Structure 1
């Protein structure tokens, strides 16, 4: 049990520390809101794509693509959305879609990858990157459906915009390019690989500092009941259900760990942007993001402790 507890803390404590430092730096004006915006943009457009590209380009392609894992994650996401949509049938139009999205859409690109690297090492980055690419598409399309249905109006223009942005997403392009190189067996020059690693190594520390610096619990003003319910689903019920499904399907070790850690991530910041675009309750979306981001460290630690104690990962 002590060994399992030590493992859980080794995964989540560095993430908590970096986010706390980001929050402290922001409060002490050591980093500004402009730094957070610029840093987040740099991570999304440059350093994270470098990280994913380099790890996928040098990996065994056959071991990367896990159809069973990806199919299970897609089915769990879509199935949970249907159940949550039914559960929220009495909510207002502005809250229903936002609530559902806040419950299923996780911050896989930053928090998910960070916990997976801490738990399984850099060799898990490549399969986690493929998972990220496929499930991000599922997230985007599902979010459009639930937010549009909640408003009872068609959002064809937003659907086209989302498809266009998905096709030009730096993360997906980097993953696709890495797969091409891996399939062709091409090797990058050492000087280019080294330069890319310099950028890649910046990714998780910078991203977590930006996440911590952007946190603000002072502005919580939405429906606290919905915030609590969404947080419970996102951080406890959905990850637990995913583990049960994964175990029944025969997953264990790194595959089960990837499924759990991706599902256990806090609500994604993209939820807020999507809620704004589709006239949802953006304040509710922001509140769910803030609360789940703070609590995710605790719930993930407990979840990892349970999985480790049961010898599932």
Structure 2
């Protein structure tokens, strides 16, 4: 019952974000400020405090890295086989990208930190770094190649170097490996900030959802949702069971890659020639569907 209450609370926050946007309480300016707080402050703080006192050497393994790269590329390849002959290029690119690009930062990692033990959270932090380093360049590459977008590939990929999420992960790993102590006052303050990551992120995601689109491609959106929140976590479970991964790795991997399509894919679509209306609808549909699938995954592995 405690798990049910917790997940219902997460759903309430998500819907609250949507309602606050509809009531113009979270207008564009306030949404941007809230998003900036989550992205630059709360989430990096959560990642750092979840990794700096864990044994990261034992977490980072070739199997963990290779397994996630395999799942990402396999899902992207399957999505390309489904969508490459359907619709215009701008819609094809969006469908392929949104079938594998997971919301691991705003939803996956905070959800795991709020639900599972420290060991699982530490693994999730490494997964966050590995998957981000793969899926962002892959997404840019898909949009640029399919839409023939005139955008410097290096410029988009270079943004990763200034990503606060990855920087905080690197800082946590460095502190962990070097065994440098963090003063209790600083650790406590960061822990307090990190506790705000999940509720803030849920409000941001809820405020970003938009279903006010003129057309509805039921088959296209349905396939994106199935690939993202059903096929991808199922494939992840098969791969890491085959690799004989430990329970923490399997749990963190399945939940992280079982998250819905990242809201950032809508931004990429706007910048790199994708169909933004289709992208917005898919983010909404996968997020709604993931309420059921993530509940099932957390209940199963929890």
TM-score scaled by structure 2? 0.91
Closer, same or farther in 2 for the Cα pair 1:46/1:304, shift >3 Å? closer
Distance 1:190 1:303 in 2: 34
Q: Which residue of 2 aligns with 1:3?
A: none
1:200 partnered with 2:183: no
Identify the match of residue 84 of structure 1 among 76, 79, 87.
Answer: 79
2:152 aligned with 1:158: yes
Give the equivalent residue in structure 1 for 2:61: 66
Residue 97 of structure 2 corresponds to 101
Q: Deviations over 1:102-134 (max 9, x none)?
A: 100010012111332243134432221111011
Aligned counterpart in structure 2 of residue 174 of structure 1, from 168, 173, 196: 168
CA distance in 2, matches of 1:45, 1:96: 32
Q: Which runs of 5+ in 2 are unaligned?
A: none
Q: 1:112 aligns with which of 108, 111, 114?
A: 108
Counterpart contact for 2:111–2:198, Cα < 8 Å? no
Structure 2 distance, partners of 1:145, 1:103, is 15
Q: Which residue of 2 aligns with 1:290?
A: 284
Kept in 2: contact 1:15–1:114 (CA 8 A): no
State how far apart, in whole Å, the 2-side matches of 1:61 and 1:224 are.
43
- CA-CA distance at 1:296 after TM superposition: 0.6
1:122-271 matches, within 5 Å, as 122-151=118-147, 153=148, 157-219=151-213, 221-271=215-265
Going from structure 1 to structure 2, the CA distance change for 1:106 and 1:220 (only over 3 Å counts) comes to: farther
**Greater CA drift, 71-80 or 15-24:** 15-24
Q: Distance in 2 between matches of 1:303 and 1:202?
A: 23
Deviation at 1:258, TM superposition (A): 1.1
Which shows bigger deviation, 163-172 or 184-193? 184-193
RMSD (Å) for aligned C-alpha atoms: 2.1
Say if 2:205 and 2:263, in contact at 8 Å, map to a contact too: no
Q: TM-score, normalised by structure 1?
A: 0.88
Shift of 1:57: 1.4
Aligned pairs, number: 301
